[in-house]
């Protein structure tokens, strides 16, 4: 049990450090940060798929853009090796619900 708690604390610390590269902001920027936190912890967990921080970042952006298609996330593009384009609502929905 102690090993599990130690692992969980290590995962939290890692994600906390990653979040230093995603600034706080308006409502949608903060929802983006919260979504990243949740998805990233899950990706690092025992049942996670060990996806990269960039894959998690893109997925978090897609989820926020379902609610706000004009959302332009702020993040450190030197830390996260990701290039983004503006997404329309249909593109955001297709990313979440593929045909």
For residue 98, is pLDDT > 90?
A: no
Tally of structural domains, the chain = 1
pLDDT at res. 5: 87
Q: Is the pLDDT of residue 94 over 80?
A: no
Provide the pLDDT for residue 85.
66
* Torsion angle of the four alpha carbons 74, 69, 27, 30, in this order, in degrees rounded to the nearest 10: -50
Query: Range of 50's domain?
Result: 2-96
Q: Using one digit for the tens of pLDDT, what is the confidence trace for 37-67? A: 999 999 998 777 768 999 999 999 999 999 9
Q: What is the mean pLDDT of the chain?
A: 86
Q: Which among 61, 60, 27 is positioned nearest to 41, based on CA atoms?
A: 60
Q: How far apart are CA 85 and CA 70, in angstroms?
A: 11
In angstroms, the CA 32 to CA 23 distance is: 10
């Amino acid at each position: 049990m102690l090993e599990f708690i130690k692992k969980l604390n290590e995962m939290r610390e890692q994600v906390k450090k990653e979040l230093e590269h995603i600034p706080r902001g308006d409502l949608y920027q903060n929802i983006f940060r919260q979504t990243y936190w949740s998805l990233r912890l899950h990706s690092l967990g025992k049942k996670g798929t060990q996806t990269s921080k960039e894959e998690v970042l893109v997925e978090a952006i897609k989820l926020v853009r379902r609610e706000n298609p004009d959302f332009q996330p702020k993040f450190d593009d030197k830390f996260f090796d990701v290039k983004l384009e503006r997404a329309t609502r249909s593109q955001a929905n297709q990313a979440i619900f593929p045909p």
